[in-house]
Amino acid sequence: MNWFSLLFQKGETVKKMREESGARINISEGNCPERIVTITGPTDAIFKAFAMIAYKFEEDITNSMSNSTATSKPPVTLRLVVPASQCGSLIGKGGSKIKEIRESTGAQVQVAGDMLPNSTERAVTISGTPDAIIQCVKQICVVMLESPPKGATIPYRPKPASTPVIFAGGQAYTIQGQYAIPHPDLTKLHQLAMQQTPFTPLGQTTPAFPGLDASPPASTHELTIPNDLIGCIIGRQGTKINEIRQMSGAQIKIANATEGSSERQITITGTPANISLAQYLINARTDAVPTHRQPRMHSGGRRLAGPRGQGAAGSDSDTCWGVGWEHQ
């Protein structure tokens, strides 16, 4: 996940990439860690945009290693969203095409066997140096242009997890049945939120990560939630909302009920990482309710799209989930 770094400083990074590459770069709306980056334009512009993204992520990895005990540099990783009907051409007979791409570019390429949830698309994961990734993307583009998708494509739309989330030992887990499943992307978001929180986490008198650069300026986002869902967010005697505050590092205020209104307003204040994690956890609570209306989100105050794009210390890779493209 590091759409954060593309949005850093009110979108200045992605704005610069658009101007220098000549491509249109759009980052999907959403309040969960997964976001889709769509790049459109002439082929040369698309490749230039991919190169800028890959080098930006390598820069983030280098920055994150200054706070890590890791001795080896992890690879840059991109996950492409590809129509399932084109994956056969990408793999080739007996895996010949994907083997050729691996050998000629030096990148690691994996095509997921299953389609992404509620879609007809599959994930193609590419890992390696920025140069290897750029060459790999070029070859994948050639294959996709030669073999257009067949039939209608149902695009993948990331959704917040509806499973309970717990944090233990600095790691995030989702509860599935009787098991706690590690959630590395959510762990990275949690670590980033704690590193860059402008507020002192509950139970602490000093910053959680002393010596780090100053936190990005705080911004404010607002959620409108149906009254009948407020209880599951607040919890008994405020236990759930206090957990969300502590996990996310955000300040969260719930407005009093207004006569004649069926909705309540929630105001979230903090860095973009704090806000994103708080929104994720709130949605995880509301999604656990069998039938409900999705909360509506709008921004208030000074909007800051994303924080400094720095991976969590010690992370295995810097990942941009769901990068896609369209050729014109």
- Of 11-20, 125-134, 277-286, 290-299, the poorest mean pLDDT is in 290-299
Candidates 80, 56, 75, 14; CA nearest to 310 is 56
Structural domain span for residue 28: 3-158+316-327
In a domain, 223, yes or no: yes
In a domain, 182, yes or no: yes
In a domain, 75, yes or no: yes
pTM higher than 0.85, yes or no?
Answer: no
If asked whether residues 65 and 141 sit together in one domain, one would say: yes
pLDDT tens sequence across 76-117: 888 899 999 999 999 999 999 999 999 999 999 999 988 888
Q: How far is the CA of 236 from the CAs of 30, 232, 265, in angstroms?
A: 28, 9, 19
Contact 198, 270 (CB under 8 A): yes
If asked whether residues 174 and 148 sit together in one domain, one would say: no
Which residues are within 8 A (CB) of 17 and not within 5 positions of it... i.e. 6 or more apart? 6, 23, 25, 49, 52, 53, 56
If asked whether residues 112 and 213 sit together in one domain, one would say: no
If asked whether residues 111 and 224 sit together in one domain, one would say: no
- 3-state secondary structure (DSSP) of residue 325: strand
Which DSSP helix (H) or strand (E) runs through 224? strand 219-226
Instruction: Find how far residue 144's CA is from the centre of its chain.
Output: 25
If asked whether residues 289 and 169 sit together in one domain, one would say: yes
If asked whether residues 61 and 17 sit together in one domain, one would say: yes
Phi/psi at 31 (nearest 5 deg)? -125, 45
Which residues are within 8 A (CB) of 291 and not within 5 positions of it... i.e. 6 or more apart? none
**Burial of 27: CB neighbours in 10 Å, binned 0-12, 13-18, 19+:** middle
What's the confidence (pLDDT) of residue 216? 63
If asked whether residues 12 and 106 sit together in one domain, one would say: yes
What's the confidence (pLDDT) of residue 225? 86
pLDDT tens sequence across 222-234: 888 888 888 889 9
If asked whether residues 131 and 260 sit together in one domain, one would say: no
If asked whether residues 128 and 95 sit together in one domain, one would say: yes
If asked whether residues 27 and 95 sit together in one domain, one would say: yes
Q: How confident is the model at residue 3 (pLDDT cuts 50, 70, 90)?
A: very low
- Of 127-141, 148-162, 305-319, the poorest mean pLDDT is in 305-319
Contact 58, 75 (CB under 8 A): no
Q: How confident is the model at residue 198 (pLDDT cuts 50, 70, 90)?
A: low
CATH number of the domain within which 210 lies: 3.30.1370.10
In a domain, 309, yes or no: no
If asked whether residues 194 and 94 sit together in one domain, one would say: no
Query: How many Cα atoms are found within 13 Å in the side-chain-facing hemisphere of 17?
Result: 28
If asked whether residues 257 and 189 sit together in one domain, one would say: yes
In a domain, 253, yes or no: yes
**Number of helices followed by number of strands (H, E) in the chain:** 9, 13
Structural domain count, the chain: 2
CATH number of the domain within which 21 lies: 3.30.310.210
- Of 119-128, 266-275, 312-321, the poorest mean pLDDT is in 312-321
In a domain, 191, yes or no: yes
Percentage of residues of the chain with pLDDT beyond 70:
72
In a domain, 308, yes or no: no
pLDDT at 323 over 80: no
Candidates 268, 318, 288, 299; CA nearest to 126 is 318
Phi/psi at 257 (nearest 5 deg)? -65, 140
In a domain, 305, yes or no: no
Candidates 132, 144, 117, 148; CA nearest to 55 is 132
Round the CA-based radius of gyration of the chain to a whole number and report it. Answer: 21
